[in-house]
Structure 1
Amino acid sequence: MEIVIWFDSRDKPLEQGKHWADETVLGGRAFFRYNDHPSKLTIDIVKESDGGIYQCRVDFLRTPTRNIKVNVTVIIPPEKLRILDERGAHIPHYILGPYNEGTSINITCVATGGRPPPKVTWWQENALLDDSCEYLSEKRVRNILHLERLQRRHLHSVFTCQASNNNLVAPISSSVTLDMNRK
């Protein structure tokens, strides 16, 4: 969809310029800020449907009109994370287990929402453990962390799942603590 907004101040001071935007498309949420430097288009309460091709048209008194088109992509951060045990059950109270020492387990993290789809990663403290993702649908992405042969050092380890689809907003995250039965 192409969205056209214009501001015309030919033959008058900028303060008296006429602004126009299609009310059916942006519902009165778009404004041209001519007194900002540089001038800019501002859209209040951005919606997913605001993405598209925007045309900027500048008319001059003595030189040709200039048209510039800009593709605006609206980024929607992921909405929520769910951490599941190997049976696919939600982990209550953020405590994983208890598992017996020597057991191998899978922990699944599922991110819901977000556009573009988020990247789902597993961390332990500041160390990246797994950044492999599987796209289940347009709105769901998962990452399965496989822990091979649990050892005593894994007792009370904190595993954090993060989901992010941009570098403008902090990733969402959820953590679980591993409980174990030692031999």
Structure 2
Amino acid sequence: MSKTTSIIGNFLCIFRLDARDDSQESPVEWIDEKLLGKRVVFMRNENPAILMFNLVERDDENIYYCRADFKHTPTRNIKVNLTVTIPPEKVMIIDVNDSHIKDYKLGPFNEGTSVNITCEATGVPNVTWWLENTLLDKSMDYITIHSDDPYHFWHNITKMKVRNVLHIDKIERKSLNAVYTCQATNSQLMHPISSSITLDVNRK
């Protein structure tokens, strides 16, 4: 096996195996443990060879390039896009001041007024508002959380939070004690997580 193989994430080399020196009993391996820890193993005896991630983390999501350099033949490259599905971590309903709503009760509001209720979730899920079994709102805004950590160079791709603002126009008397539920999900394989609030209304 007269070649060297490099696995490159975002143009940083994270793994290298050099088998070009026929005098060596085994190929020389190098892995960036500061970046990946000991979770990654290169299984060169498999056909084809496998770079295995144990206990995949959100920061592993990236585009990886495998480059094979040979002694006498052209270099070969292949690109793999690793997508990590992250379950929603939490759902929080907040008021206009971005504060958590205490006791999960919002109001009281006078009839005829309007109100915005914000639901915020982490993990890049789909965030929706429901009134019992009726879907009210599925619009979302994505907010990226940047990281200055140079060893998590794709952190800002997956570190995000999602907001869905429910606008209730002209609150009615029938809205008294109505329960509004925010759901967050990003996979059909998992149940959504949710949080609910009860609306308090002053009757005229």
TM-score range, shorter chain: 0.5 to 0.7
Residues 52 and 21 of structure 1: is their aligned pair in 2 closer, same or farther, counting only changes over 3 Å?
farther
Distance of 1:91 and 1:49 partners within structure 2: 31
Stretches of structure 2 lacking an aligned partner (at least 5 in a row): 1-9, 18-28, 44-49, 69-76, 146-159
Stretches of structure 1 lacking an aligned partner (at least 5 in a row): 7-19, 34-39, 58-66
Matched residue, 2:165: 144
2:199 to 149, 162, 178: 178
1:48 and 2:55 aligned: no
Deviations 1:91-149 (A, max 9, x none): 101011122222221111122x32xx333211111211011112233423211111112
Alignment of 1:65-104 (within 5 A): 70-104=80-114
Identity of aligned residues (%): 51
Distance of 2:183 and 2:86 partners within structure 1: 16
Q: CA deviation at 1:23?
A: 7.1
Residues 170 and 21 of structure 1: is their aligned pair in 2 closer, same or farther, counting only changes over 3 Å?
farther
CA RMSD of aligned residues (A): 4.0
1:105 to 106, 115, 123: 115
Residue type of the partner of 2:111?
A: E
Secondary structure at the counterpart of residue 174 of structure 2: helix
Count residues in correspondence. 167
TM-score (norm 2): 0.59
CA contact (8 A) 2:63 2:79 kept: no
Residue type of the partner of 1:53?
A: Y
